[in-house]
Amino acid sequence: MSNPPVLIQVNGVSLTLGGRTILKQIDLSVRRGEVVAVIGPNGAGKSTLIRIILGLIKADYGSVSLPPDTRIGYMPQRLRIDPALPLTVRRFLTLGQRCNNETLRRACAETGVERLIDAPIQSLSGGENQRVLLTRALLRKPQLLILDEPAQGVDIQGQAELYSLINTIRHRYQCGVLMISHDLHLVMATTDRVLCLNQHICCSGHPETVSQDPAYLALFGNHPGLALYTHRHDHQHDIHGAVVDSCTTCPKRPDAEHPHG
């Protein structure tokens, strides 16, 4: 039986900012139907890697290759939306992209947000917000789904439900999934391969194997299967996934990295 096709191939990606190494010789690939998780501590370069893959920033060295016309669905951590903006879930989902009512209905049914379709986007709970973000990513019927901390701001039960939903979606769509997560324990049941990142790939493989790897234990301590760290999130994203500073008057450091990696 032949292997599923590769949806994305990253070779030797490196980036230095302000004399600081952000990423060094990163190699990864995602095949159709496969879930690959990238985990790592604060400042490890995880979100920077995603931004390079999305073409939002350019690496100093290396390459990112995708088959022509690959459909990518991207789910950012959170969005910055003006509280005074009268925006419903329906309007948010359809902003900037074409989709008919049937496509919208099916995507909402898959993620369980049908009842929220006419609710103000600002009224959603953490778990509801993440499901709406996932719904928007699915409207393109993606071949590759890229998720940046998909369970951000969701309680433990909601996280387990969300990862189970992601697993269902990858089978239903036969899409590849590349996701960032700080918690290996929660993604173990969903993930086929894990890459432990700390500027470079420290270790990789099946989640149970990685959880016992000396490089993993050196980063996260002797907690098999669990990668916990204090998550700081001092930026937000616009509707297209670009980073928006929450503080417009704060000076920027040339070596500033996304604090969550």
How many whole angstroms from its chain centre is CA 27? 17
Q: Is 259 exposed, middle or buried (0-12, 13-18, 19+ CB in 10 A)?
A: middle
Mean per-residue pLDDT over the chain, rounded: 83
Q: What is the DSSP letter of 146?
A: E
Which one, of 167, 143, 170, 147, lies nearest residue 5 by Cα?
A: 143
Of 16, 13, 6, which Cα lies nearest the Cα of 52? 13
pLDDT tens profile 26-73: 999 999 999 999 998 888 999 999 999 999 999 999 999 999 999 999
How many Å apart are CA 73 and CA 139, to the nearest integer?
Answer: 8
Q: What is the pLDDT of residues 4-16, one digit of tens each?
A: 999 999 999 999 9
How many CB atoms sit inside 10 A of residue 249's CB?
Answer: 5
Pick the residue with more confidence: 231 or 133?
133
State the average pLDDT over residues 209-217: 91
| CATH numbers and ranges of domains, the chain | 6-33+47-205 (3.40.50.300)
**Interatomic CA distance for residues 168 and 138, integer angstroms:** 13
- Give the tens place of pLDDT for each residue, 75-105: 998 777 777 788 999 999 998 888 888 999 9
Residue 99: what pLDDT? 84
Is the pTM of the predicted complex or chain greater than 0.85? no
Quote the pLDDT of residue 171. 93
Across residues 174-178, what is the average pLDDT? 96
- The token pair at 237 is 């994203």
Rg of the chain taking only CA atoms, in angstroms? 18
